[in-house]
Structures are given as C-alpha cells and as structure tokens.
Chain A
Amino acid sequence: MTLGLSLGVVVGYLVAALALGLVAYRVSESTAEDYYLANRSIGTLVLLFTTFATLLSAFTFFGGPNLAYAAGPEWLIVMGTLDGVLFAVLWYVIGYKQWLIGARNGYVTLGEMLGDRFGSTGLRALVAGVSLLWLFPYVMLQQMGAGEALVGLTDGAVPYWGGAALITAFMILYVAVAGLRGVAWTDTLQGLFMLSVVWIAAAWLVSALGGVGAATEGMLAARPEFGGFGGGTYTPGFIISTAITIAFGVTMFPQINQRFFVAKSAATLKRSFALWPVLVLLLFLPAFMLGAWAAGTPVTVPENANVLPVVLGEYTPAWFTALVIAGAMAAMMSSSDSMLLSGSSYFTRDLYRPVVNADASERREAWVARVGVAGFAALAFVASLFRPGTLVEVGGTAFSGFALLALPVICALYWDRTTRTGMLAGVAVPQVAYLAVVLSAVVGAVPTLPRTVAGGWDVALGLMALSAVLTVGVSLLTAPTEEEDASRFAVAGD
C-alpha cells in the first residue's frame, strides 16, 4: 500500500508537469526561435525560476546533502559561493553582454554567436561539439540520480534501471513536444515546488529532533569536526577550485547559456540578477543542513544510497518522503529537459545544418532535432547503468569541461583583437588536454595523468589559465581574417 502511494505521488507529479508542457505546446509557434527561446519573451519570475530549476539538479539535490553528510556542511559555502555570488557576477559579465548581442543579431546558440563573429563554421561546430560532449555525462547524472531516488523510495522494489528509464522516457516525450516555453513554465512550477518541500522537510526533521539547537548538538556529538569551518575534504584548494570551475562551467552549460538569450527585457535580467543570491540560499541552506544534521541521527545510510530519502523515510510519513523524492525528480527533470532541448539546438543549428545539410527544410531540421534528443538520451541512459562515479564526481567532471570554454568566450566578448585562430587554439588545446586527464582515470591504455597542478589546485583550473593564455597569445601573434567582424559584438551603437 505504501509503495503504491509513494509511486502514485511521484508519477502523478510527472503527469501534472507533462500536462503543463502540453498547454505550453498549444500556444507555441513552429519557429526555431519560439521552440528554443520562447521568442525571447520570458519575464522575471519565470526567468528566475527556470534558471534556478535548470541549474539545480541531482547534483544539488542528492549529491549536495550526501557530501554534507559525509564531509560536513561546508558544501553549503562552496555551492553558495559559486552559485549564489560568482555565478551572479558572471551573469552580468557574460550573460548581459550575450543578451544584448543575441537580441541584436538574433542568435540562438553560443556556437552560432561565436561562429558569426569569427566567420568560422569550424569554430561554431567545435563549440557545439565540446558542449555536447560534456552535456552527455550531465544528462547521465540525472538518470543516475533518478534511478537511485526510486530505489531509495521503494526500498528496491523499483530497480535502479527502472527509475533511470522512467526519467529518460519522460524527458524525451517532454522535449519532443513542449519546447522552451513548456520547459520554462514547468521549471517555475518545479522550482517553487522543490523550494517548498525542502523547507517543510527541514522543519519536520528539526522538530522531530527537538529544534535546530538540538539537531546541531546531535550532529556535533557524532561528528565534532562538522562545527568548525574548513578541514578534512574542505581545503582552501578544494573550495576555490570547485567554486571557480563550477561557476564558470555553469555559464557555458548550453541550457544555462541559452537562458541568457531568452529574457524579455534588460529589467528582467537585472531583477533576476539581484534576487539570485537569496533564492540560492533559500534552497541550499535547508537541503544541505538536512544532510549534515542526518549525521547526528542514528539512521544508517546504505552504501550507494542517498541520505535525503533515507533520513526522511525515518522521520516523516511515507507520503511526505514521496513528495520530497518528487521534488528531487522535479529538479532532475527540469535540468535534463532543458539540457536536451539546448543540446538539440546545438546539434541541429551548429552541427547538422552548417556541416551536414545546409539546405535542410525546417521540417527536416525539427525531425532531426527530435531523433537526436531521443538518441542522445538513450545513449546516456545506457551509460548511466554502469554508474561510473558518484553524483558529485560525474558532475564535477562535466562542469570542468565546460569551464574551459568560459575564458575564451569572455575574451571574444570584450576584446576586439581576439582572432579566429586564437579562439580555436584557446578552445581546442585545453579540451584535448582535459579529455586526456579524464580518460586516463577510466581507460587503462591511457597513462595516468595528474588531476592536480602546482600543489593541490584542480587540473581544470590550470587548464582554464592555459585557455586564457592561448586565446590572448595566439590572437596577438595572428591577424584577423577577412571574414571576422568584431562589430558583430558591438553593443554601444546607440
């Protein structure tokens, strides 16, 4: 009975989200700009929550509390710094400029914007290819998260692959019909929903434990080191490396980067920017403290399981645990549907049309996009069955891959002297190097490469510096070609 109830809550929630997507589909037009960018018509509340819900995924909802449970609540600071503050600043530096340029020239993807500025189909395809490469593990992460979530919720009655398959099917269906307007609307619903359930969950646990003070005392009695800031996993090198690579990586995430194009007005962007840190705090504080407080409870978390459902299962009724899982599934879906949608726009506009078939009709392009989404999601599903690492590990790898794009893009946005060769070198070389590092950890044939440089800094941080040096250095050594047009990025024309 309880099992039926739990599954009913989760599936009911998925169906409600799908219904909303169908409504959005009915008001959508059939143009690419509407499908991918909702005609650049998104207002403050929806922009804020669609960015929020898109950003927060299995990585935040399960990975975060797991890490807080195992290593201490400092994860709150790491994620708060990178998502709440550094990302907000980058939102202004990269996002606003991109919005201005995008609105002026009608760009839909990052690759399209750079390809046009530098007159290079190769650069456009390279950026799209790199983005799709790192999108893959991140889509996989959502499927892993959903699989684990349903195992935790149903005590194993629904197997891991069943949960992963459920969310895969849902994502494909959703993206195929809804487009960005549907994604943005459901994101708003999902963002508000997960914010509410996580606060109720924290209040429930805290009252069961006898108040905030008692919950913290229990945590400190079990793990005294959780009280002091820093130590253990949280070295300054870890905190800084993680915060920088993830924050820069997030801005280059296709689904987040495209959010920079969709705002209705500058006022929308500005309001969202200012409200952002508080919104981030409102979610992270209860979510990660739940994980940290759980360390002081007698609950034992089985290996490979997520702490959140286990501890809630112990202290709250089954229907409420199911609601929280639905909230977490909401976080995963709202991230993955956006990822697949953005991924398909990169695939069709930056790879398929310019490289494979320039004369494809809109109809054919739409068809290719949907088949691409289904194929991509299905491959990620198969890969997720092998569970190649923890949620935080898989996520961290993807973020770092994206972060390597950020500095060349900032160069292109702000420095007119940037050349095509500079961009190609600044993007391609660090990517190849990072890919070799990642592969060396999983493929025996590749010799093991160091994951840290210069005494404890993440290798991705070193490669980010390399990408900036290469972009600037090679640009200085080469001359702009005739196809390049720095005026495409001018925004001060009025």
Chain B
Amino acid sequence: MTRSRSDLVWIPTFAVLVAFAVPWPLWGVDRVVAGLPVWIWWHVAWLGLCTALFALFVRSGAWERGMGRRPGRDVAGGDAPAPADGDRR
C-alpha cells in the first residue's frame, strides 16, 4: 500500500504543531486575559488543537500508511503474533 499524496500534508502540520506549541508570536507580551497571561491561553488552546488534529490524523488512515501498512487493520498483521491470541492472555 503506497501512501497517498495528501498524507504528506501531515508532515508540515506536525512541524507547525510542534514549532508553535511555544507561543513565539507572543514573545514578551504581558496582557492578562480572563485572569491569566494571554500566552497561557495560547498554550491551552494549542494543546486542544493538537488533540483534535491527532485524532483526525488517526482517523484519516495516514497513521498506518505512514508505516507502509494498510489502514483498517488493528493487530500487527501478517505473521505477527496478535497479542490477544487464543492461548495467550
């Protein structure tokens, strides 16, 4: 299974998510909004955004394709021992 071209968009997406997890645009800004410095709100919103996009990444199938695998299979496929196999607990 080859990875689809649209999957590549996740690479810059992750790069942006990591790079701006630090609120660089608010360097030195000291405005207080709703009781907390505004850059702390940026951080709160950013980690929320990360969770939303990570969930989307998982659902898109790009997760599996990124490893060169077919999406939609749950266990480690092929000859891999499925961890929930019969005689194993």
A228 interface hit (Cβ, 8 Å): yes
Are A491's CB and B68's CB within 8 A? Answer: yes
Q: Which of A141-149, A212-220, A403-411, A451-459 contacts B (4 or more CB under 8 A)?
A: A212-220
Give bound CA distance, A92 to B53, whole Å.
Answer: 13
In the assembled complex, A14 has its CB within 8 A of some CB on chain B: no
Known: A85-B17, A227-B32. A96 touches B84 (CB 8 A): no
Contact A88 B50, beta carbon cutoff 8 Å = yes
CB distance from A281 to the nearest CB of B (A): 4
Report the minimal beta-carbon distance from B58 to chain A, rounded to whole angstroms: 4
A73 touching B40, Cβ below 8 Å: yes
Q: Which residues of B contact A280 (CB under 8 A)?
A: 47
Contact of B30 among A228, A243, A264, A266 (CB under 8 A): A228
A493 and B79 contact, CB distance less than 8 A: yes
Taking CB atoms, residues of chain A closer than 8 Å to B36 are 212, 216, 289
A67 vs chain B, min Cβ distance (A) = 16
Contact of B58 (CB < 8 Å), options: A84, A106, A229, A274: A274
A85 touches B47 (CB 8 A): yes
| B70-82 Cβ-contact flags toward A at 8 Å (1 or 0) | 1001111111111
Q: Which residue among B17, B40, B55 has the maximum number of chain A CB atoms within 10 Å of its CB?
A: B40
Q: How far is the CB of A181 from chain B (nearest CB, A)?
A: 10
Take A104-B80, A267-B74 as given contacts and tell me if A275 and B63 are in contact as well, using a CB distance cutoff of 8 Å.
Answer: no
Q: Which of B32, B39, B69 contacts A494 (CB 8 A)?
A: B69
Nearest residue, chain A, Cβ from B24: A236
Nearest chain A CB to B75 CB, angstrom units: 6
**In the complex, number of A-B residue pairs with CB atoms less than 8 Å apart:** 157
Query: Shortest Cβ distance from B1 into chain A, in angstroms?
Result: 8
In the complex, which residues of chain B have a beta carbon less than 8 angstroms from the beta carbon of A224? 30
Residue B9 lies at the interface, judged by CB distance under 8 Å to chain A: no
Contact with A along B27-71 (1 / 0, CB 8 A): 111101011110110011011101100110110000110111110
A100 vs B67: C-alpha distance when bound (angstroms): 9
The majority secondary structure among interface residues of chain A is helix
Provide the bound-state CA to CA distance between A452 and B32, in Å. Answer: 34
CA distance A239 to B82 in the complex (A): 41
Contact across chains for A278 and B51 when beta carbons are under 8 A apart: yes
Chain A residue contacts of B80, Cβ below 8 A: 100, 103-104
B67 touches A97 (CB 8 A): yes
Q: Which residue of B lies closest to A263 (CB)?
A: B83
Which stretch, A45-53, A74-82, A250-258, A371-379, touches the partner chain B? A74-82
Q: How far is the CB of B57 from chain A (nearest CB, A)?
A: 8
Query: Of A29, A41, A216, A492, which one neighbours B67 at CB under 8 angstroms?
Result: A492
Are A277 and B18 in contact, CB atoms less than 8 angstroms apart?
Answer: no
Which residues of chain A from 218 to 259 have any CB-CB distance to chain B below 8 Å in the complex?
220, 224, 226-231, 239-240, 243
In addition to A41-B89, A263-B83, 8 A-B residue pairs with Cβ atoms within 8 Å of each other are A86-B18, A86-B21, A103-B81, A104-B79, A266-B76, A281-B43, A281-B44, A491-B67
CB<8 Å pairs between A and B, sample of 30: A29-B89, A39-B83, A40-B83, A73-B37, A77-B21, A86-B21, A92-B66, A96-B63, A97-B67, A100-B69, A104-B78, A104-B80, A104-B81, A212-B34, A226-B37, A227-B30, A228-B30, A229-B37, A265-B75, A266-B75, A276-B51, A278-B47, A281-B48, A289-B40, A491-B68, A492-B68, A493-B77, A493-B78, A493-B79, A494-B69
Interface residues of B (CB under 8 A from A): 1, 14, 17-18, 21-23, 26-30, 32, 34-37, 39-40, 43-44, 46-48, 50-51, 54-55, 57-58, 63-64, 66-70, 73-84, 88-89
Q: A residues bordering B, Cβ < 8 Å?
A: 29, 39-41, 73, 76-78, 80-81, 84-86, 88-89, 92, 96-97, 99-100, 103-104, 106, 211-213, 215-216, 220, 224, 226-231, 239-240, 243, 263-267, 270-271, 273-278, 280-281, 285, 289, 491-494
10 cross-chain pairs, A with B, having the tightest CB-CB distances, nearest first:
A212-B35, A492-B68, A228-B30, A227-B30, A104-B80, A494-B78, A494-B77, A103-B76, A81-B21, A213-B35
